[in-house]
Structure 1
């Protein structure tokens, strides 16, 4: 499996934390969950870390079966729409955004849990 992540390295602007969260949930998640080929969409919010920097306000992680599915999603109209809508989110945010793709292996937990 492959996981494409968008790392939001930085922080929501002071006083805009809830607006940032609401914008993601109301405007972007409905688009991200429509990406063709996506098998799972996770929005990760940093709660704590053992270092002060880097801070990630959010990490978007979308699971795909293969690179071809990622390529289809990136070329899709819904992805283009999500990029446009993301511009509004960036008005609530101080930092940078970058993307990376991970090849992921999954292992069952010991004891079948």
Structure 2
């Protein structure tokens, strides 16, 4: 499984945080959930960070079975619609976003010392 991640690096305009996340939920999440081949969608809102961390307001993760599925998703007619809606919501955001595609190794916790 592969995960395509969008890192939203920057800050939400002061006092508009709830509006930003409300618009993400109502305008963007329905589009993200419609992408072809997507297995799961996770929207992560930063609640705390190390003092010297870069300002990351949100992380979007979408899981896909393989790279072909991601390529098909990116070629989908939903993508331009999603991009336009994202640009509209980004008027509340000072910063930008970028994407990564990753493959995870899932480890089970070692509870012997717990």
Number of matched residues?
A: 111
Q: Give TM-score scaled by structure 1 length.
A: 0.91
Alpha-carbon distance in structure 1 between the residues aligned to 2:92 and 2:104:
31
Larger gyration radius, structure 1 or structure 2? 2
- Residue matched to 2:73: 73
RMSD of Structure 2 on Structure 1 (CA): 1.4
Q: Which aligned segments of 4 or more residues in structure 1 are displaced greater than 6 angstroms?
A: none
Unaligned runs of 5+ in 1: none
Helix, strand or coil at the partner of 2:8: strand
2:25 matched residue in structure 1:
25
| C-alpha contact (below 8 Å) 1:46/1:55 kept by paired residues | no
| Distance in 1 between residues matched to 2:19 and 2:94, nearest whole Å | 14
- Higher mean C-alpha displacement, 20-29 vs 99-108: 99-108
Q: Secondary structure at the match of 1:19?
A: helix
Give the structure 1 partner of residue 64 of structure 2.
64
The equivalent residue for 2:87 is: 87
TM-score, scaled relative to structure 2: 0.90
